[in-house]
């Protein structure tokens, strides 16, 4: 959002492919975020509301949607997916459970996001992924805030 003008993603109408690591939200979180979606949609009817069943916390990109890779993403997944999934399973087993609390709703250039705390457990999982998975250099996982996108300015996953 810049000067109160929404800019849509250039990928909005384009097919795209990505492989991501996500935490699924519990039903009560999805319901609460759904109420926020309804309020935002009333205020701005042209926003794209992500289906409640798709709401999640993004942890890391394995093969990012915005990354241009020298090899087809599906081919890379065929080659590395089993190894990455095994390591992700180990990381999940080593990680303690945690609760997150959504504190703020913020408009960005590409979405309206609900920010969550605490960020430390999620950031630790991100660190372990960075340390243990050999991902393509084009996939950049700069730490970003722990959040969920209830409203997107690009196409939402189904």
Residue 4 covered by a domain: no
Residue 157 covered by a domain: no
Residue 2 covered by a domain: no
Residue 12 covered by a domain: no
22: enclosing H helix or E strand: strand 19-24
pLDDT of residue 125: 94
CATH number at residue 93: 3.90.1140.10
- Number of domains composing the chain: 1
Rounded alpha-carbon distances, angstroms, from residue 130 to 57, 64, 81, 114, 125: 17, 14, 15, 24, 9
- What residue numbers bound the domain in which 24 lies? 19-152
Mode of pairing for the β-strands spanning 48-49 and 147-152: antiparallel
Residue 142 covered by a domain: yes
Residue 84 covered by a domain: yes
**pLDDT tens-digit profile, the chain (158 residues):** 445 555 556 656 667 788 999 988 999 989 999 998 888 888 888 888 888 888 888 899 999 887 888 889 999 999 999 999 999 999 999 998 888 888 888 887 777 888 888 788 999 999 999 999 999 988 887 767 888 887 765 544 44
């Amino acid at each position: 959002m810049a000067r109160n003008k929404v800019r849509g993603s250039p990928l909005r109408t384009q097919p795209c492919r990505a492989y991501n690591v996500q935490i699924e939200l519990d039903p009560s979180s999805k319901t609460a975020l759904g109420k926020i979606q309804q309020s935002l949609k009333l205020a701005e009817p042209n926003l794209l509301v992500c289906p409640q069943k798709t709401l999640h916390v993004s942890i890391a990109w394995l093969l990012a949607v915005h990354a241009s890779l020298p090899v087809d993403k599906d081919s890379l997944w065929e080659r590395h997916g089993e190894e990455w999934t095994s390591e992700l399973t180990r990381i999940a087993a080593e990680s303690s459970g945690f609760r997150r609390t959504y504190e703020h709703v913020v408009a960005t250039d590409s979405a309206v996001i609900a920010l969550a705390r605490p960020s430390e457990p999620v950031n630790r999982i991100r660190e372990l992924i960075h340390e243990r998975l050999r991902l393509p250099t084009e996939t950049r996982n700069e730490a970003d805030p722990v959040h969920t996108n209830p409203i997107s300015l690009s196409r939402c996953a189904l």
